Structure formats: structure tokens, C-alpha cells
Amino acid sequence: MCGIFAVLGCADCSQAQRARVLACSRRLRHRGPDWSGVYQHEGNFLAQQRLAVVSPLSGDQPLFNEDRTVVVVANGEIYNHKKIRKQFTGKHTFTTGSDCEVIIPLYEEYGENFVDMLDGVFAFVLYDTRNKTYMAARDAIGVNPLYIGWGGDGSVWFASEMKALSEDCVRFEHFPPGHLYSSAAAGFRRWYNPAWFLEQVPAAPYDPLVLRAAFEKAVVKRLMTDVPFGVLLSGGLDSSLVASVTKRHLVETEAAKKFGTELHSFVVGLEGSPDLKAAREVADYLGTVHHEFHFTVQDGIDAIEEVIYHDETYDVTTIRASTPMFLMARKIKSLGVKMVLSGEGSDELLGGYLYFHFAPNKEEFHKETCRKVKALHQYDCLRANKATSAWGLEVRVPFLDKEFIDVAMGMDPEWKMYDKSLGRIEKWVMRKAFDDEERPYLPKHILYRQKEQFSDGVGYSWIDGLKAFTEQQVTDEMMNNAAKLYPYNTPVNKEAYYYRMIFERIFPQDSARETVPWGPSIACSTPAAIEWVEQWKASNDPSGRFISSHDAATGHGAGGAHANGNGVAAVANGHGPANGAVNGGEVAVANGHGAANGNEVAVAIAV
């Protein structure tokens, strides 16, 4: 991941303003420690901090066309760049090996109507000196971060992270995923228009081989690298499939010729945590050289302020999950690794979170997956990108490949729903697609293993420790005055209050606090899904452990439960059992350590 920064239409084109641009851009250097570049044309500035992953010996930015009249800064991975290069043989002279250089000839050939031709993830700003116009664009789902701001002089600012422009803009916000901004049109236009975006329920039948092929293709294209790379491996379904497919196809790639086919796997967790045990089992099966990173609750608490600075959020679940990932990313980067693959996006696309078991029908199930995917740029994509980019480590997410999304979101959602009578658990469509008897990708007990909520997977005492710590830091009197001090997105518990105090000290602007989504949630649900179960509305903790669901329920709370989602669940917010009959099964929502699906952390690297 690189860091980009641009100011367009600035009234001040002095050396002092150029120096200010450079100072703002340097706030992104953690994202791109390998090189810095800046371009100025009158009152227009484009800067970049580079993390060199593809063509490290060339490709420094900004990038230009042949006569240097078109200039681009980009943070991206364009997986079809070689195909595009062939398209422009004899028409355009490429001067670098950068995959992002193809943006320039596409713009010259098609104007602003080329963004959908890019297969990859990206955030870029392009300036055309010939007509003094500019455009900016962000990838379909918002895997790569981008912010837009407006200066008091009418200038427009762009940055990979909020911290680069927050002090200089009178207003700023997230650049919306799947959109482009055009100075010629003086506004945004959505370039990504998939069928699922309208939230109409699809009817395509489930084809396991089509789903498998789409995912394998998504993984393989992300092995485009000229540096040592890796794949996350916690032992859960998503990361284990990413690791298994990588292991199976690595020998066929250019990367294998440079770095070999051996995988070194890495996992982070508290001593004795579920992820450590599960990752070790998967690593043994896949034949990786396995390493474990341990952290303590105090290590995590000490890192929280840095995590909030880098993540630019006060969302409770994001901070809980980011902290172990932030600590692990530093260890990984110290080994010389610059890029890893990760399993983000599966639970949103396939309804993998346990609360999806309670969806009343397939229409509501599908609408919730649409809402979750649309919001990824404010949650899991933000976490995975910023927690790792803090140390100059790039994360790639094959589940959020455009083609794979089309397949996953295009099938009849009835196939994705939990149904005990048919033997279907969450993400059954993915498990079934990779259940190969002749050439197994994973052992069956791993393939059909229910996953922990991420924050619990690294160790149950992590969340408990955070709660105990913030209870000591925030008094009852402070909570009583929370609405007065923080009238916007008022914290509802002491942990949220503590994170908000830190955030406000670092980012005191109104626009900053408005970039953070807020609302009731249970086990990573959207506020709309809270309506599925009346009793969920009483909880003020978003942890997935509040759903002790189905055969995997364990720990301090209620016992196991079964449901097909077509009824009302019994809920307990204490430490006692809660049981309710739902269509012949039992459902429990309790303050216990029930297993839940979330995002996994750990890494396997090829060196």
C-alpha cells in the first residue's frame, strides 16, 4: 500500500505551499517508506509515498505520459495491467514496470470512462495539464482508503488517510467506493454499478464449481508480486482456504521462481488462544513452517492510542480487532515481508456472521449482505488496510475480487442461509465448493469448523481485559455527562468513551468524527438487522460473543442452540443460560464466550 496526496486548484502556488504539501504527504510515509515523489503545475500538487511491491526498481511516482502532460499518483494493484499493456502496444510507450502506469493510456484513449476496465483495487488522482482538469477514483468496494476535502480557497484535496488533510480543509469526508470525482463535471459519478447494488433478490442457482473457480482465480491473480509475500492463516475457514489455494497454485506463478514455494505461517494471539491452536493444525496439514506471535493484554492496551491514530476511527469492534493485527504487522514487516493475502469480505458476502442465522427470510438475508458489503470500507477494509499499512505492509483480499463478488452476490440467497435440516451451517456454499474428496483442500473438520469472533479468537481475555481497563479509566460521572461532551455519536459504554477521548484529542474536527459510522450492532450486524430479534436492542456491546449459537457455543454463557432463523430468540445479557425454542431448535444470546464468525489474523509468507 502506498500513500497518495493531492491538492488541486490551490490559490497559493508558492514555495511555502509546496512545503506544506510535502509536510502533509509525509504524514503518509508509514504507508510508503520506499520512496517519495511530488509534482507541481501552478496551484496543483500531486504527491506519493511509495511501497514498492511490483517493479521495485522502477515505477516511482508520480507517473507521466510521453510528453508529461498527464500525471498520476496512485495507490493500487492493477492485476490485469499486462493485458492492458498489450492492448496499447505501438500506441503508448511505457517507461516503468508499474502496474498503475496503465491508467494513463486508458485515460488518453477513453477519457474518464475507463475505470471499470481496471481489475484490481486502487485510489488515484490524475491531472491533465492540457485542459487543466483532474479526476480521482476509488475501487469498487473501497479496499484502498481515500478521503476528499475542500479548502477555504475552493481547492479540492485528496489523501489516502484523513490525517494528511484534516488540519487544512474546512470540510472532508470518505471518498465513496465505486465512484470517480471529475473536475469537469464538478462532482461525483458512480462507475461501479453491479446488479446486486439495487438489493434485488437474485435467482441464479448455486454452482459449487463456479464459485470455487472464481475464488481460485481471485487468489492466483493476487500473487502478482516482486517482493516476499504472505497469506493470513488463523485456522478459520476463510484464511485457511486462502492459504490452501495459495499453496496449491503457488508453483505455477512467477513469484515461485523468485521466492520458492515454501510457506512460512504466522499467527498472533494471547497464550492459549483458540487461533493459536487452530492455525497450528492447519499449518501442519498444509506443510508450512509455522511461527506464533504472542502478545499480552497490556501490550494491546499500550498500543491502543497508536491504533486509533492509524485506523482513524473510534468504532469499538474495529479497535478491538485492529490491535492484535497492528502488533502482528510490525513483526511480519521485520522479516522483510511487504505483502500478505487476507480473508476479509467472506462473512459479508456469504452471510457468515452468526447473527445471520436469525434472518427471517432470504429477502432480509440478501439485503443485509448488501448493506454489509457496501459498508466494508468503513469497517473491515479500513481495519485490515490501516492496521497493516502502519508498518508498510500491504494486504490483498481475494474475497473482494469483482468477479468473485458477482458470483457470490448473484446466487439465490436461499443457498447461503443456515438450515440444520439440510445440514447447512454458515458459509455452507463455500465449504461445499471446496469439499473435494479426491484432492482435499482442507480436512473436513477444519472445512466445517465454526469460527471465533476475531477479537475472541486471539484470546478470550483480550476483550475482558479491555473492558476491565476502561472501567478503571472512565468514571460513572464521565458517562453521565457523555451526551453533553459528545452529542454526536454519544458513547454508550465506558470502552467506547475511552476510545472516543483518544480520537477527539487526535482528530478534533467535526468532519473527522462524522467519518465514523455509528449505531446499534450485535455480532457485527448493521442497525437494520437488530430488528430481527427484539431482545438484541437491549445490548450495548457489539461483541459476537453475545450470540452463543448452535453446536459451537462454549464458555461462560448459554449452552448450544439451533435455529433456521425463522423465529424469535431468547436473550440473556447476564452470565446465565438462555434458551428459546425456534422451529424445533434452541437459540441463545448470552453474555458468554460463544463462537462467532469474524475476521481472522495470522500470516503465511513465501520467502
Strands 133-138 and 179-182: antiparallel
Place of cell 424469535: 568
Query: Residue 326 CB: number of other CB atoms within 10 A?
Result: 26
**For 12, which DSSP code?**
-
Phi first, then psi: give them for residue 566, nearest 5 degrees: -105, 55
Place of cell 439485503: 367
292: left (phi over 0), alpha (psi -120 to 50) or beta: beta
Task: Check whether 72 is labelled as a binding-site residue.
Answer: no
Cβ partners under 8 Å of residue 28, min gap 6: 3, 4, 5, 49, 159, 160, 161, 163, 164
Query: Residue 395 CB: number of other CB atoms within 10 A?
Result: 25
Query: Residue 461 CB: number of other CB atoms within 10 A?
Result: 16
Which one is catalytic: 2, 100, 169, 524? Answer: 2
Residue 44: name the closest of 133, 110, 117 by CA: 133
Torsion angle in degrees (nearest 10) through CA of 49, 53, 57, 62: -30
Q: Which helix (H) or strand (E) holds 181?
A: strand 179-182
Task: Check whether 90 is labelled as a binding-site residue.
Answer: no
Task: Check whether 521 is labelled as a binding-site residue.
Answer: no
Residue 249, judged by CB atoms within 10 A of its CB (0-12, 13-18, 19+), counts as: middle
Place of cell 477527539: 504
**In this structure, are residues 379 and 167 in contact, taking their beta carbons and an 8 Å threshold?**
no
Distance CA 303, CA 328 (A): 12
Task: Collapse the DSSP code of 183 into the 3-class scheme (helix H, G, I; strand E, B; otherwise coil) and give the result.
Answer: coil
Q: How far is CA 426 from CA 214, 329, 391, 418, 524, in A?
A: 19, 29, 34, 6, 15
Cβ partners under 8 Å of residue 51, min gap 6: 1, 2, 31, 32, 33, 34, 338, 392, 394
Residue 562: name the closest of 363, 364, 354, 348 by CA: 354
Our answer to whether residue 13 is catalytic in this structure is: no
551: left (phi over 0), alpha (psi -120 to 50) or beta: alpha
Cβ partners under 8 Å of residue 385, min gap 6: 1, 143, 144, 145, 395
326: left (phi over 0), alpha (psi -120 to 50) or beta: alpha
In this structure, which long-range contacts are made by residues 193-197, counting pairs with CB atoms below 8 Å and at least 24 apart in sequence?
194/140, 194/405, 194/406, 194/409, 195/406, 195/409, 195/410, 196/370, 196/373, 196/405, 196/406, 196/409, 196/410, 197/370, 197/374
Task: Check whether 548 is labelled as a binding-site residue.
Answer: no
Task: Check whether 232 is labelled as a binding-site residue.
Answer: yes
Rg (CA), the chain: 24
User: Residue ranges for the binding site for L-glutamine?
Assistant: 99
User: Residue ranges for the binding site for ATP?
Assistant: 232, 268, 342-343
User: Residue ranges for the binding site?
Assistant: 99, 232, 268, 342-343
Q: Return the active site residues.
A: 2
